[in-house]
Amino acid sequence: MSARQDIAALKHAFAALVGAANVLDSAADMAAYETGARYDKGRAALVVRPADTAEVSAVVRHAVANGIRLIPQSGNTGLVSGSTPDESGNQVVLSLDRLNRVFELDRDNRSVRLDVGHRLSDVNARLEPEGLHFPIDLGADPRIGGMLATNTGGARFLRFGDVRKNVLGIKVVVADAEGTVLDFMSGLRKNNTGVDWKQVFIGTSGAFGIITECEINLELMPRQTAAALLVPREGAAVMPLLREMEIRLGSYLSAFEGMSRNAVESAFRHVGSLRNPFANGVVPDYAILAEVTRSWDARAGEQPLDAVIEEVLGEIWESAPGLLEDALVGSPAELWALRHALSEGVKHRGRMVAFDLAFRRQDVIAFCDWMKQNMPARFPDVAICDFGHIGDGGVHFNLVFEDASRYSAGRETELREWVYEVAVSDFGGSFSAEHGIGRKNQPTYDRYTHADVAAPADGLKSMISPGPLGAVRFGRN
C-alpha cells in the first residue's frame, strides 16, 4: 500500500462509506492525528472519521479485506504511542472524534449510555447539573474510548477504582471479515452468565476491537472537599501515614498522592503562577497531597471537612509523633493545581523518559529509594522526578536528561531496559500501570509477558479479531 494510486483507491472506498469530507489525506489535515502527546510523530496513509458504529464496522470490514492496519484514535492524549500511526505511512487512523451523538442519561440506573467520542470534560460538564460525574479523575482530557482502551485509573482510584470497575456495558467492532459488532450493552450491574467479554476489550489498547459505545457508572459529585499537604519525616513514614489516614477517614479519603522534590521544583519553575505552600518556601524531599471528600452538602451541626482533616492530622501528630515533619490544610484547588502541574513541569526540565509503573503500595517508596541510590552510578546525568498514586501503588516514574544533549535513543533504550528489569523482575511491579501498551511498550510486553499468557492472548486475538488492528501486536497480528 505504498503506492499513491493504492492510497487513492482506498480513499475512494472509505469516502463511499463515511463521506468524502471525513477521509483526510492532506499533510495539514492529518498532522494532528499523526502527532501524539509526547515525542510521538508518525505518518498516516489516511485518516478516516466514521460517525457511528455502523460506519466503523464498514470501515473495519474494508480494511480487513484489504489487509490495512487501522489505528483507532480517541482523544489522542495517551503517552505510549497507542493511538498514532507508525512511520511507515501504511497505517490508517480511524478517528473516533465524530462518535459523539448518543448521550442517554439514566438517572434511576445512575449511568449514562454514550458514544465513546465524547471528551471526559464534556461528559462531566453535562452531568454536573445532575450532581453526578464519571469519577475517573485524570490530568489529561481524553475521550472516553481511549479511557476504555487503556483502563485509566487516575488520582482518585483509591475511592472510585479504575475504568474497568465503572463500565456497565460496551459495544465493540472486531476486526473480522464482517466487521462484526458485539453488543454487551445490557447496562446491568450484576450479570454472571458466562465469560464477561467486556473485560477482554477494556485495557487492551484497541487490539481486540474498537469500542464504539458504552454505558458507564456514575457517582455523586463531591460536594465538600478538603485537602492537606503532608510532609513525612522519612520515606518509611509514608505507609504508616496512609494507614493512619485510612483508619480515621475510611471512604472519605479520596486521594493520597506523592510528589518528589524534583517534580515539585520543576512545576514551580515552569508555572510561575503556582503559589509555594511549603513552610518558608522550602520544598521537602517528598510531600503528599491528601484529599477528603463528601458527596453531600454539610449538614447542620456537622464539622466542616477542613476541621475534620485538621483534627485527624492532629491525632496522628500526637499518637504517632515520628511520622509527620509538617502538615498544612490548604485550598484543594491550589494543591491540585500544583499536583496537576507536575507532569508539564517535569517535561520542561529537559528530555523526559517517562515510566508509568505500579507496585504493591509499600513498594512505590521502596522502589524510588532504590533508584535514587543506584541511578547516579548508572545514569549520572538523569534526574528522577517521580510523583503519583501512593494510595493505589501507581507511580509516574519520570526521568529527565536535564542536559538534552546527553540524550540519545540508544541511551533511552538502555535506561528503559534497566528500569523495567528492576521494576518488574526485582520489585514484582507492572511496566504499565494505566497508560497501556502502545508501540512504546511493545518490546517490554514481548519481553515480560510469560509464554503461558502470551500464547493464549495471541490465540484469543486470532479467534475473535484476526485482522490487523491497533498499534499493539498480539501474535502475528
Nearest to 368 by CA among 439, 429, 324: 429
> Which stretch, 19-27, 68-76, 292-300, 370-378, contacts a second copy (CB under 8 A)?
292-300
At position 202, the amino acid (one-letter code) is I
What's the angle, vertex CA 378, arms to CA 374 and CA 379, rounded to 5? 105
> Candidates 8-16, 45-53, 148-156, 369-377 — which segment interacts with a second copy by CB under 8 A?
148-156
Please name which of 470, 435, 461, 442 lies closest in space to residue 72, comparing C-alpha atoms: 470
Burial class for 386, CB neighbours closer than 10 Å (0-12, 13-18, 19+): buried
Binding map of a second copy across residues 199-238, x = CB under 8 A, - = no contact: xx-xxx---------------x--x---------------
195 binds a second copy (CB under 8 A): yes
173 to each of 43, 52, 399, how far by Cα in Å? 24, 11, 38
Residue type at 221? M
Interaction between residue 434 and a second copy (CB under 8 A): yes
Size of the site for a second copy (CB under 8 A): 86
162-181 residues in contact with a second copy (CB under 8 A) are 162, 164-165, 180
Q: How many CA atoms lie within 13 A of 124 on its CB side?
A: 17
SS3 17: helix
Of residues 29, 128, 141, 196, which one binds a second copy by CB under 8 A?
A: 196
Contacts of 82 (CB under 8 A, 6+ apart): 146, 149, 150, 205, 206, 435, 436, 437, 438, 439, 440, 470, 471, 472
Q: Contact between 474 and a second copy (CB under 8 A)?
A: yes
Does the footprint of a second copy cover residue 464 (CB under 8 A)? Answer: yes
Angle 106-108-110 (CA atoms, 0-180°, nearest 5)?
Answer: 65
Per-residue mark of binding to a second copy, 355-394 (x: CB under 8 A): ---xxxxx--------------------------x--xxx
Nearer to a second copy, 4 or 450 (CB): 450
Task: Tell the smallest beta-carbon distance from residue 439 to a second copy (Å).
Answer: 14
Which position among 16, 27, 32, 247 is part of the footprint of a second copy (CB under 8 A)? 247
246 counts as binding a second copy under rule CB under 8 A: yes
Single residue of 66, 276, 449, 477 touching a second copy by CB under 8 A: 449
Whole-angstrom Cα Rg for the chain: 23
Compute the least distance from the CB of residue 343 to a second copy, in Å: 17
Binding of a second copy at residue 55 (CB under 8 A)? no
Is the separation of the CB atoms in 59 and 70 below 8 Å? yes
The residues in 256-285 that bind a second copy, with binding defined as CB under 8 A, are none
Among 41, 243, 269, 348, binds a second copy (CB under 8 A): 243
Under the binding rule (CB under 8 A), the answer on residue 255 touching a second copy is no
Q: For residues 310 and 381, which CB has a smaller minimum distance to a second copy in the complex?
A: 310
Count Cβ atoms within 10 A of the Cβ of residue 366 and give its class: 0-12 exposed, 13-18 middle, 19 or more buried: middle
Pick 361 or 439: Cβ nearer a second copy:
361
